[in-house]
Amino acid sequence: MDRFQRCQKLFGEDYTKIQNAKILLFGVGGVGGHCLDALYRTGVKDITIIDFDTYEISNQNRQLGSDNIGASKVKTLMDIYKGIKGFDLKVTPEWIETFDFSPYDVVIDAIDDIPAKVAIAQKAHKKLISSMGGAKRIDPTKIRISSIWKTHGDGFAKKFRYELKKVGFNKKFDVIFSEELPVATCKELGSFVGVTGSFGLFIASHTIAKVLKQ
């Protein structure tokens, strides 16, 4: 029995596009980890993940693989999701400038470093899906997909747009954001896996849609 038989039934002849897709995923934390899980379970065979972080106990409320305190996120997830590829490194604008994005069908940005996000957008906007802020929110039904230039209620996206404008960037790309206003009583970056995980699932769904259109 094929583990992907229900996916095959759902997508029919187009399922080969999903199996053959090449996905690059920046960040495998609360959003990216759930995105990875969904893509892997759907049968995407060629997934490359990039992250420099290790698991801390504070990650355990929302991150897959976080039982492995102190372990590399990339190495842990490569053990769990057999066959994926990974780079255990910190993404910087300088590294992005020299990286070859051409082999990938979809580039997913699930990191929170603004300079790196700007650099990724400059290099890969035509195939990019970027995650905005999922912290301080509790309602996953408020998650939306839009152009980076059309988000609302998301301070992180606003800051991202400001930095894009500073470098003269005016292209369009898709982002996942929440129109829910942050919880006013939460002063720190509190988070709920029902939202951050849903961000990852939204991105995975949108990734599959983009692959099927190609």
163-184 pLDDT, tens digit per residue, is 999 999 999 999 999 999 989 8
Order the strands of the 106-109 sheet from edge to edge: 85-88, 46-51, 22-26, 106-109, 128-131, 174-178, 143-147
Q: Angle 114-124/155-166 helices, nearest 10 degrees?
A: 60
Q: Angle 193-213/32-42 helices, nearest 10 degrees?
A: 50
- CA 201 vs. chain centroid, Å, equals 9
Q: Are strands 174-178 and 143-147 parallel, antiparallel or unpaired?
A: antiparallel
> Tell me: the pLDDT tens digits for 104-129?
999 999 999 999 999 999 999 999 99
> Tell me: the pLDDT tens digits for 188-211?
889 999 999 999 999 999 999 999
Look at the chain and report how many structural domains it folds into: 1
Whether residue 1 is predicted with pLDDT greater than 90 in this model: the reply is no
pLDDT band, residue 102 (cuts 50/70/90): very high
pLDDT band, residue 12 (cuts 50/70/90): very high
> Rounded to the nearest 5 degrees, what angle is found at the Cα of 138, between the Cα atoms of 132 and 140?
65
Average pLDDT, the chain: 96
What's the Rg (C-alpha) of the chain? 17
For residue 186, the enclosing domain spans 5-213
pTM over 0.85: yes
Share of the chain above pLDDT 90, in %: 94
> Rounded to the nearest 5 degrees, what angle is found at the Cα of 123, between the Cα atoms of 28 and 114?
55
pLDDT band, residue 2 (cuts 50/70/90): confident
Which CATH number goes with the domain that contains 87?
Answer: 3.40.50.720
